[in-house]
Amino acid sequence: MPEPHQSRLNLACEPSATRYAREHAKDILLRWGVPRTVTDDALLIVDELVTNAVRHAGSAAEPFDPRRGQPKVRGCALSLWIVNGELLISVYDQNNQRPVLREFSLDAENGRGLQLVAGLSGGAWGYTFLPAEPGKLIWAKLTIPGGTPPYGTSVDAGQPAPDPGAFGHDVPQPRRARGTSAEARHVGGVGLRLPVPH
């Protein structure tokens, strides 16, 4: 049986992370034989999720103090994997604020990223706070026409990708995110178990 399609890229949560994540995702999805239409949507989702991680988690990095040396930059991670004909995209960041899906407005200067993710994924996206780690995992999934590409490949860029058999939280599927910080949060889609980053 071939290895599952899985990849993880650890990043410093700084502005260049979006470019590196996009380049990595493009390369991996090409190697996996993911159709171009799915790849194009996935790259937009990667851009939005990593940009949000940089904007919200990266901004919380410690300020530079010359007495302590270089500032500590928070990390984030992009994970890609294919399970049962669906491409799963997740971004982990060290920010504990829940993502907010804002109402669409033509006048808004920002805040449209999650609307784009929700639209591209057909509502199959969400997030969960991690019990043993600071921060959250935000995810989206896309269906691959024709199912999983043949000849599964595992590509490592820093650390092993999450094992699809060792997923973390079950994510139920209401329309809006609700509950306490200890609960899994999500919007739309069908049942999904998310990996907990290591």
pLDDT digits (tens, 9 = 90+) for 64-101: 556 666 656 688 999 999 998 999 999 999 888 888 87
The percentage of residues in the chain with a pLDDT greater than 90, rounded to a whole number, is 42
Give the Cα separation of 24 and 19 in Å (integer).
Answer: 9
Rounded to two decimals, the pTM is 0.71
| All domains of the chain in start order, with CATH | 6-60+73-193 (3.30.565.10)
Give the Cα separation of 18 and 61 in Å (integer).
Answer: 17
Give the Cα separation of 54 and 74 in Å (integer).
Answer: 9
| Nearest CA-CA partner of 189 in 132, 101, 120 | 120
Q: State yes or no: pLDDT of 36 exceeds 90.
A: yes
Q: Is the CB of residue 162 less than 8 Å from the CB of residue 6?
A: yes
Q: Strand 6-12 to strand 136-143: parallel, antiparallel, or no bridges (unpaired)?
A: unpaired
Average pLDDT value over all residues in the chain: 74
